[in-house]
Amino acid sequence: METRKLGNSGLEVSAIGLGCMRMTFGDKPIGDHQEMVSFLHEAVDRGVTFFDTAEVYGPFTNELLVGEALEPYKGKVVIATKFGFNLNPDGSAGWQGLNSRPERIRQVAEESLKRLRVDAIDLFYQHRPDPEVSIEDVAGAVKELIQEGKVKHFGLSESSADIIRRAHAVQPVTAIQSEYSLWWRNVEADILPTCEELGIGFVPYSPLGRGFLTGKVDENTTFDSSDIRSKNPRFTPEAIKANRAVIDLLERIAAEKKGTPAQIALAWLLTQKPWIVPIPGSRKIERLDENLGASSIELSSDDLSEINQAISNITVVGDRY
């Protein structure tokens, strides 16, 4: 698999990473532990070197899984994790509000290091902006951890351009993680230009629109109550039917390229900027192979023009949350 560098940081990762959240957290059934360990090993064998987790996924279970599975590859893979929440005191799923106070950031770092079984966290994201804590204090806290050798790179998730600039002035930001796909392109207005200006990489989560852009969801699809899509406005039967035009477009181009709608959606992201690294989530080898196959799909300038023109004429129905 080809590699990419996240902005000017020098942090080099596989062109397509792997979002690990759903291996232990989210819609049921979650993955079997040993099967997920083997799955992560298979991902490394296929050239994936960039893995995304967070303490809040579980909580803790996702970091524990990733730490166990990737320990044999220490120094050969890049693990990103996140801070920014007060977790429930009883250890149950969910959280009790945001918390990016410096002492909390340090606590999360120390605990994540143990769960991930690493000497330093490769990429440490603020999971969500905390309006109660200045971003300068957040960046300063991570800067101290970097100086101590406990963290290597600083990242932000779902942050505004202003927050990115202010953080970057205190501690250079390596990567921004936000939702980005063919049917959620809001970051193109000011986030991507800010990343380009400052030399920051961009990591799209939900690059397949929570599965919709695979073409395998239709108005008859049902979702378990534990699945975020069961309450998502974009996944009502009416919205799915209305948004079918997006899939029709992807299927048409996929047929020409001998690929799949998911591969076209990921290939489109890869063509946007050389410092964009999507992290589709997966728990099945066949899906992993399909996603990784996107890196070999070549979209011409004519293909991209056709996609952009068609998407501009499609009104996506339903809010993203």
**CB-based contact 215:250 (threshold 8 Å):** yes
Task: Give the model's pLDDT for residue 3.
Answer: 98
> Is residue 180 annotated as part of the catalytic site, yes or no?
no
Transcribe 289-310 into DSSP letters: HHHHGGGG----HHHHHHHHHH
**Every domain of the chain and the residues it spans:** 3-209+272-295
Q: Write the single-letter amino acid at 191.
A: I
**CB-based contact 250:304 (threshold 8 Å):** no
pLDDT, tens only, 28-41: 778 899 999 999 99
Q: pLDDT band at residue 230, thresholds of 50, 70 and 90?
A: confident
As given in the structure block, the two tokens for residue 12 are 């080099």
Task: Give the model's pLDDT for residue 173.
Answer: 98
Distances (CA, A) of 139 to 52, 55, 216: 20, 19, 41
Q: What is the mean pLDDT of the chain?
A: 94
Q: What is the dihedral of CA 308, 320, 238, 225, to 10 degrees?
A: 140
Arithmetic mean of pLDDT, 61-78:
98
As given in the structure block, the two tokens for residue 202 are 């961009």
Architecture per CATH, 3-209+272-295: Alpha-Beta Barrel (3.20)
Query: Is residue 321 over pLDDT 80?
Result: no
Arithmetic mean of pLDDT, 97-112:
98
pTM for the whole structure? 0.95
pLDDT, tens only, 127-180: 999 999 999 999 999 999 999 999 999 999 999 999 999 999 999 999 999 999
DSSP H/E element including 88: none
Task: Give the model's pLDDT for residue 316.
Answer: 80
DSSP H/E element including 238: helix 237-242
Arithmetic mean of pLDDT, 110-132:
98
Q: What is the DSSP letter of 181?
A: B
Arithmetic mean of pLDDT, 199-215:
95
